[in-house]
Amino acid sequence: MATRPRFGRLVAALAVLVLVLAACSKSTSGGGSTSSPPGGGGGGGGGTSITISNFAFHPNALTLPPGKVTLSVTNNDSTLHSFTLDNGSVSQDIQPGTTAQVTITVPSSGTLGWHCRIHPTMTGTITVG
Query: CATH number of the domain that 50 lies in?
Result: 2.60.40.420
Residue 58: partners with Cβ closer than 8 Å, 6 or more residues away: 29, 30, 31, 50, 51, 52
Into how many domains does the chain fold?
Answer: 1
Q: What integer pLDDT is reported at residue 84 of this predicted model? A: 98
Q: What integer pLDDT is reported at residue 36 of this predicted model? A: 35
Residue 104: partners with Cβ closer than 8 Å, 6 or more residues away: 68, 69, 70, 71, 85, 89, 90, 112, 126
Residue 44 has pLDDT above 70, yes or no: no
Residue 97: domain span: 33-128
Q: What integer pLDDT is reported at residue 76 of this predicted model? A: 98
Spatial distance between the Cα atoms of 17 and 3, rounded to a whole number of angstroms: 21
Residue 107 lies in a domain: yes
Between residues 19 and 77, the one the model is more confident about: 77
Residue 6 lies in a domain: no
Residue 62 lies in a domain: yes
pLDDT digits (tens, 9 = 90+) for 4-42: 556 556 555 545 444 433 433 333 333 333 333 333 333
Beta strands in 1-86 (DSSP E): 33-35, 47-53, 56-58, 61-64, 67-75, 81-85
pLDDT digits (tens, 9 = 90+) for 91-126: 999 999 999 999 999 999 999 999 999 999 999 999
Q: What integer pLDDT is reported at residue 105 of this predicted model? A: 95
Residue 17 lies in a domain: no
Spatial distance between the Cα atoms of 43 and 34, rounded to a whole number of angstroms: 18
pTM: 0.65
Residue 45 has pLDDT above 80, yes or no: no
